[in-house]
Amino acid sequence: MAFPPGLNRAVRPPGLNAPHAGLTSVPALPAEDRPADGEWLPAPAAGGQAALAATRHPGATQDPPRGYRHATGLIQMAVEFLLFCNMSLRAAARAFLVMDLQRSPTFGTLRHWVLRLGLYELQRAKPMAADWIFIVDATIAVGEHKALVILGVRLAQLQERGFNLRHQDVVTLGLKILSRCDGVAVHAQLEAAARQVGVPRAVVSDGGADVVKGVRLLRADHPEVAWIYDLTHRLARLLEKQLKDQLWWDRFVTQAGKVRNGCRQTPWSCLLPPAPRTKARWFNLEPLVNWGLQVLAYGRKAGLQDKKFAALFGWLEEFEPQLEEARQMTGLIKAVCEIIKAKGINAAHVQSCRQRIEQIAQTPKARTLGAEIMQFLEAQAALARPGETLLGSSDVIESVFGKYKSVVERSPLKVITEMVLTVAALTSARTSQAVKAAMETVSLQAVKHWLGANGHPTQLTRRKEVLGVSATK
């Protein structure tokens, strides 16, 4: 089921107030930023530099970070090419060639800039407070390692900004590469984050056993900490409980898959059912349910007598009552998510959810699901103190992971490397001041030291050791 939008909205990147801000090249690049062969990418024909100068924002930061050749504005734009525009390292490097700069940074230099910004965001001091909300999850890749991430946001900021969080609304409090990610390891990282900013008011996570145990161990020492079960995951599990063992649902999904293959080369290819999801399929049932009902409605409205149409879609009539009931159930979940994700969870908002559920649920199974949803919401709202509204969803960390994976999936080995620092870079403010401070205070050697402290060689290094350098070519 597709839940309401609101994460990672396409707004102008932070700190960039105009196109081509601060794109100047000035002397002196540190040796560690030079390409390995000491050469630079050639610039295209002259002329573009003057055009860039004409469009430059007058308030842009032209001064380079200490010891750098490139202006802060250029570094800032390079970071946004990678993190906001989702460009690859090589594509971003070529974009600067198109801009006709005197000297364009290579993709290796761009990579170093993002890693430094990520480590700066991870290690910079955050304020001590008693109203922190920790958002916890782990991301996996090929290999035995996981990256455990702890994001943080303060309740006071939630009241100001709203509860539909974007990447820059949170900060990275913890990022650890682990070969064994169990409850004890999660607890250790939660305690480390608590020592950094204070014991949190609440921890929000999915129902993963490792994180749940880690939170339970934290609460043994700090019983005032509340654990909030992520709304998206919990409602998806409740929906799965209602549909997973229903024989009609398995038959419907199987038949929809056959139709998807059967009508590709027909005049009715425009009615292809939505592609099945291999992951998070219980989060995304609404498009498939609506497809079945909409195709039925179209056939009746148009009064179609076409034999091919009947052969492809006539079977849907058998499932119409069940699909109507399933649409009510997905409608319940969507309505609840719209309220809790936008406003947070407290007794008043739970009451609003009850009213919407009563309006939507008209069938026995929908009412059963509605009762289970209300039982869950009431238990969560009971964790809030009088006058307090808690964060009910960890969607922001899932969104950050999604953006991070879109960056690393271009790697042929798809393993966790130092590029996991992209997660922290995504949550950084990315203003010219932050970018300049990151470049001046974090060296490439510090990035290497951080990776070494996390304690494992890269997959490529191990591959070379086992197969030999020539085997990777």
> Residues 202-218: what's their mean pLDDT?
91
Separation CA 76–CA 68 (nearest Å): 13
> Which pLDDT value is given to residue 36?
45
5 vs 150 pLDDT, higher one: 150
101-105, 180-184, 437-441: which has the minimum mean pLDDT? 101-105
pLDDT at 55 over 60: no
Cα dist. 13→16, 84, 293, 354 in Å?
6, 7, 40, 38
84 vs 4 pLDDT, higher one: 84
pLDDT at 411 over 70: no
Confidence label for 260 from pLDDT (cuts 50, 70 and 90): confident
Separation CA 153–CA 169 (nearest Å): 7
Count H helices, E strands: the chain? 19, 5
> Which pLDDT value is given to residue 341?
93
Enter the tokens of residue 313: 């879609």
43 vs 299 pLDDT, higher one: 299
Residue boundaries of the structural domains of the chain: 31-121, 123-228+392-431+444-472, 236-381
Separation CA 112–CA 30 (nearest Å): 12
Q: pTM, whole model, 2 decimals?
A: 0.81
Length of the chain, in residues: 473
> Residues 334-357: what's their mean pLDDT?
94
22-36, 135-149, 197-211: which has the minimum mean pLDDT? 22-36
> Residues 36-63: what's their mean pLDDT?
43
93, 83 Cβ separation under 8 angstroms:
no
> Which pLDDT value is given to residue 414?
63
12-16, 168-172, 186-190, 209-213: which has the minimum mean pLDDT? 12-16
pLDDT at 33 over 50: no
pLDDT at 16 over 90: no
Q: Which residues of 56-79 are buried (b: 16+ CB within 10 A; e: fewer)?
A: beeebbbebbeebbbbbbbbbbbb
Confidence label for 349 from pLDDT (cuts 50, 70 and 90): very high
412 vs 315 pLDDT, higher one: 315
Cα dist. 208→202, 211, 233, 249, 440 in Å?
17, 6, 10, 26, 39
Separation CA 16–CA 23 (nearest Å): 12
Closest of 73, 83, 25 to residue 403, by C-alpha: 83
> Fold for domain 123-228+392-431+444-472?
Nucleotidyltransferase; domain 5 (3.30.420)
Average pLDDT, the chain: 81
| Cα dihedral 338, 342, 347, 350 in deg (nearest 10) | 0
> Residues 282-294: what's their mean pLDDT?
86
